[in-house]
Amino acid sequence: MCGIFAYAGTENAVPLLIEGLRSVEYRGYDSAGISVIDGSGAIQTVKRGDHKSSLSNLAEAVSDRRVSGTVGIGHTRWATHGEVNHTNSHPHSSSNGLVSIAHNGIIENFLELKDELVDSGVEFRSDTDSEVLAHLVGRAVESGSSLRDAVVAAASRVKGNTAVVAVSANEPEIVVGLRVGNAGGIVVGKNDDSAVMASDTIALLPYTSEVIYLEPGEVVEIEQGKVRLFDLDGSPISREPIVTAQNFEAAQKGNYPHFMAKEIAEQPDAVQSAMRGRVDIASGTLSLPELSLEREHFGSIDRVILTGMGTSLHAAMFGASVIESLARIPSIAENSSELRYRNPVIGPSTLVVAVTQSGETADTLAAMEHARSAGAPQAVVLELEGSQATRIADFTLPIRAGQEIGVASTKTMIASMTTLLQLAVVLAEGRGVVGSVQVEKIVEAIAELPSLVATTLGLNGQVSKLATRLSEFEDLLYLGRGAQLPIALEGALKMKELAYIHAEGYPAGEMKHGVNALLGPEMATVVSAPKNDLYEKMLSNISEVKARGGEVAVIATEGDEIVGRVADHVILVPDCPELLQPFVTLVPMQILAYETALALGRDPDKPRNLAKTVTVE
């Protein structure tokens, strides 16, 4: 997803803008650019639209320091309107050269605005929607408007979620930032010599750990050592900065080859962290202090709708399975982009649980807004506190996995599952479905989770051998049943997003309803079949695949001496209570996709066409 970084201070902004963009490049991008106000007060802009090499090519292009200035903006673009090339990269300048802007979001009415501008004589250079903003702001500044007023006026013409930063030759000491709707956040910070703003907190950490999150409908001016916040009417807003817990060191790879490898390895800690302050092993109790629902409220909940996108949807599916199983409340998990548009029947007795590690996924935020307007009590399970989702939900359930830089979600999924498992127990106990004795037993089991997950990390050897074999296929089928279905779907998603292999996740029971037509030697099948009540059924599915010449890899429970007699490849995971099996089958699925990606020479941290946070629909 697009990244923004802006600087106003005493140093040459050019290298600082490049470094700021490097810290947000994990969000995914295909082009990059910067604009600075040079010593003569003119705006200098340099852009590169070369896909993944854009930022390094941009850094090279400005390394001769011919372009310099102490105020500037930078942008990494994830193309929505207009192909990937230098011209379509941001920042975009106004035709009068007075203004340059960088924009996140989609301008839904850009054709109408573009027509109006072209009719007034403006010549467009790019095919982007964002360029419209540059001309609207530039025209207002030329008419004498301040940059802040011009940005606010331009944003008021735009339909769609917007996050924009702008500089003006008429006010060379400031940068203006504005946020309307949910097009990704803008976070602001300052120190004595400078002020910065960015899409992500991580970019501010070299300057300050005291940050202010712009809320939708707010505009900010930064200049050396100063931050001024306003609402769209121009009234000043005073807001105390918060001290962010994120730290720059944690965001580095350390001795891992990729962020993804580091984050897979961090999963035992992520699980531990998600339990901290909630699971009390000594007393055998479990609580969620952040869920300040009155106990009598628990009884009034007659349905739980969980919602998310991508990996977070798979975590939500696990949540629905475990909540219905333990708390005996009808629970479903639904794709946010579907939930938000189907006019669902949601009311005060529906508990809505959003799952979103970034807290900025546009479709999930929209589904959350819908649930809030329907009066449903709402929780959000997330990593990035301070994100927009925390301002929509009634209760924030932090997963505390720590920054996840790799585009593919790994530790945030297992931490979300850990948090959802605890939510299920709290709901079950709050409704009197389970008593203290059962809770004690569950806590005893959950206490083993970090070491169980740590054990699965040792499967690399078995998994990388299988990965080499799977890398030879163009089509893969993933099968699971019950609580293993979300794990099969997640395994398929990881293989798609990392190895770029077509991989379909399917309920194993669906085999005979069409999938069997696909079976044969040209497609391999990955099956999640730990020892549980559905194991025998899974053995039958494995035999069905084998009977049609398909190659089968199975994730099974250690000590299973049967599955090896029917499957071609077996990955054995630790034996554990059925409630915890999804945690131990998830990790080999992640490692399998990671190792297959390496076998195919893919970059696991920056998969093509993907972004870490999808802030557009």
Binding site for ligand AGP (CB under 6 A): 308-312, 356-358, 361, 364, 407-409, 497, 613-614
- For the bound state, the minimum distance from the C-beta of residue 241 to ligand AGP, rounded and expressed in Å, comes to 24
- For the bound state, the minimum distance from the C-beta of residue 319 to ligand AGP, rounded and expressed in Å, comes to 13
Catalytic residue among 114, 190, 606, 612: 612
Query: Among this protein's residues, is 262 annotated catalytic?
Result: no
Task: List beta partners, residue 396.
Answer: 380
Task: Name every residue whose Cβ is closer than 8 Å to that of residue 412 and which is 6 or more positions away in sequence.
Answer: 270, 311, 312, 357, 383, 399, 401, 404
- Cβ atoms of 611 and 27 within 8 Å: the answer is yes
Cβ nearer to ligand AGP, comparing 407 with 423: 407
Cβ nearer to ligand AGP, comparing 443 with 501: 501
Distance between CA atoms of residues 378 and 352, nearest Å = 5
Interior CA angle at 466 toward 464 and 471, to 5°?
Answer: 90
Catalytic residue among 2, 47, 531, 576: 2
Cβ nearer to ligand AGP, comparing 44 with 409: 409
Cβ nearer to ligand AGP, comparing 279 with 420: 420
Interior CA angle at 577 toward 576 and 580, to 5°?
Answer: 85
Distance between CA atoms of residues 317 and 353, nearest Å = 11
Distance between CA atoms of residues 73 and 195, nearest Å = 12
Which residue's entry shows tokens 């497609």? 523
Cβ nearer to ligand AGP, comparing 101 with 407: 407
- For the bound state, the minimum distance from the C-beta of residue 480 to ligand AGP, rounded and expressed in Å, comes to 18
- For the bound state, the minimum distance from the C-beta of residue 484 to ligand AGP, rounded and expressed in Å, comes to 19
Distance between CA atoms of residues 401 and 274, nearest Å = 7
With the CA atoms of 311, 317, 322 and 325 taken in that order, what torsion angle do they form, in degrees rounded to the nearest 10?
-170
Cβ nearer to ligand AGP, comparing 128 with 358: 358
Distance between CA atoms of residues 266 and 409, nearest Å = 12
Cβ nearer to ligand AGP, comparing 139 with 314: 314
- For the bound state, the minimum distance from the C-beta of residue 254 to ligand AGP, rounded and expressed in Å, comes to 21
CA atoms within 13 A on the CB side of 578: 14
Distance between CA atoms of residues 315 and 140, nearest Å = 47
Query: Among this protein's residues, is 253 annotated catalytic?
Result: no
CA-wise closest residue to 588 among 577, 572, 606, 601: 572
> Which burial class, exposed, middle or buried, applies to 160 when counting CB atoms under 10 A from its CB (0-12, 13-18, 19+)?
middle
- For the bound state, the minimum distance from the C-beta of residue 1 to ligand AGP, rounded and expressed in Å, comes to 9
Distance between CA atoms of residues 452 and 555, nearest Å = 15
CA-wise closest residue to 340 among 319, 362, 318: 362
- Quote the DSSP letter at residue 199: S
- For the bound state, the minimum distance from the C-beta of residue 387 to ligand AGP, rounded and expressed in Å, comes to 9
- Which tokens in the block code for residue 235? 């009234």
- For the bound state, the minimum distance from the C-beta of residue 510 to ligand AGP, rounded and expressed in Å, comes to 22
Cβ nearer to ligand AGP, comparing 188 with 407: 407
Q: Which residues are catalytic?
A: 2, 612
